[in-house]
A and B are shown apart, each in its own frame.
Chain A
Amino acid sequence: MLKRALAIITLLIIGYWLAQGLAGVPFGEDKMLVGQYYLDNVKQQTGAVNAVTAVVVNYRGFDTLGEVTVLFIASTGVGALLWRRKKERTAKTEGSIVLTTGTRLLFPFVMLFGAYIFIHGHLTPGGGFPGGATIATAFLLLYLAFITYEIPHRGFEVTEGLAGMSYVAVGLIGLAIGGYFLFDWIWQTWQFGWDNVGRLLSGGFIPIIYTIIGIKVGTELSGIIDNMLKEEVSE
């Protein structure tokens, strides 16, 4: 009781403190410093219509590379924590025909929609991370509907690694051509897509990087699901 009361009082104090801090920031007023630069120059400099993806992939590409690394470490960490010599799915109840057939029918659509999200990252909201998470959802569906389903591990792990390496490789090509890491060589040097901003084949290397990230995140999260759904089996 005392503990709970203390916790509530502490939270109230913290909340009041934060509210006081935010009260000095007016809502709905123009206070963009860097933001205005992004909005003014995003089309000419990156070819992306979606300013968020341009910031995330082009202007601040290192952040995204870091996020991809964090996800990779999370996946490796889960794998390391749950590593056992012999692991199997232990779920015993098979889903009903409605569940399994529904999953069969939905699986390709979820995959296609994930691909749609990451390929249109420079045009519409979304990008590599939501697209990859959508694709992982498709595999989660299979895991939940079929008690024996397993992802093809070897293929998935290799794909994940290759996708991560391709991201760095794209950055290194930029380093060789333009002089710094993650330089957008497709847009700046090749000038590819300059004449059709807003259509699919534009946006410099954003679609390429987002395809890579989508594949990487999709395989990675599926791997995490796989690790967490399996239990140790005594021999």
Chain B
Amino acid sequence: MAERQPMPLQDPEERRRNFNEVALGYTEEQAVAEAARCLQCKDPKCVQGCPVNIDIPAFIACVAERDFDEAIRTIKLTNALPAVCGRVCPQEVQCEQYCVLAKKGQPIAIGRLERFAADHESTGGVAAPHKVKSTGKKVAVVGSGPAGLTAAADLAKAGHSVTIFESLHEPGGVLTYGIPEFRLPKAIVRQEVDYIKQLGVDIKVDYVIGKIKTLDELRDEFDAVFLGTGAGLPNFMGIEGENLNGVYSANEFLTRVNLMKAFRFPDYDTPIKRGKKVIVVGGGNVAMDAARCALRLGADEVSIVYRRSEDELPARREEVENAKEEGIIFRLLTNPVRILGDDKMNVKSVECIRMELGEPDASGRRRPVSVKGSEHEIEADTVIIAIGTSPNPIIFSGSDGLESTSKGTIVVDDTGMSSLPGVCAGGDVVTGAATVISAMGAGKLAAQTINDHLGKQ
């Protein structure tokens, strides 16, 4: 059996100091060769692993036959953001995990092929979608992240008049402010957002629901509402020294770098502290992104401080490997106790304690326990806290009866409907911080639910 086609990457020595995309994408020849490995299963398991159920064998067959236009048309029947998904989905736990080839060797590189098809289309100009007959119904989508964009695209395809309300000045949510340029170029996000606008979706930026208008007011104006407001409220650890100068939430650090382009300061006005010794607390994709951005801003040394061991790192394997290749130091089984500052209230070090893994906790992961007397100080001038986020409560101001949990997430039934009739929710605002693709799956489900709901009106 043919080997899986490797992904060409920018050289680690080169890329650790620039913000250009790390993965360079397949050439036509590589894509066709990879597509030819697909067995075209009669009962394809890969599709089940895809939260938006792309007809994977069909689009791969098109790539194998060099009909790239048909490949992307097939993908776009169910997925409005293929260039994004091909880059940031954790395929190893989704579509590719179910590929039959994975049993004996390496699964088909579905994500890379999806990316290839999307990129191939964008080089020739994205085809305008067909306009559909209007239903005369109006739907409001709050938040333009992956959940909101997916819901909006599906609702527009169903003929509803869709308006997205976005609080920031650029649409895309975490795709724009969170995931760095070197993993997901912003030009690509903009292109996919433009495609959704071509479907007839109106996007209002700088529009904070909960402030300009309440949810209740939206419900009066629209026939249905989808809430895809994400989990954008940063969690802090609550340890001493967290408000010292040089301590950032990952959200702030990444927003400055990605949305405000602080890496291009002073051509762009937003500044950022270019730390020399940087500590990133956390082990998820956000921690990897923050660490790799700090390195690219010119840091001498960037460490990931994580309280569990390598096996429990929640970040994608590929991103951990990329980070290691670039020289990020992993201080595992280590937890910050307090952050120490100098007389000017600037960070000078982080006191950490070593951890060992104890009994499994409720989530099934072995609980880290601190080792008495193992406190040690690590020098640092910048500390980035990447220990997770919660839903932003701003959406709840002025909305009576929207049921939520103690964690601030919105309660929905298995169709995505909230406690308020006609109001669906999905993505991180329901699950807490999760993945781009699971948010897209939730957006898709909610769009279907809203369709059904409007059909009954």
Is the pairing of A and B real?
no
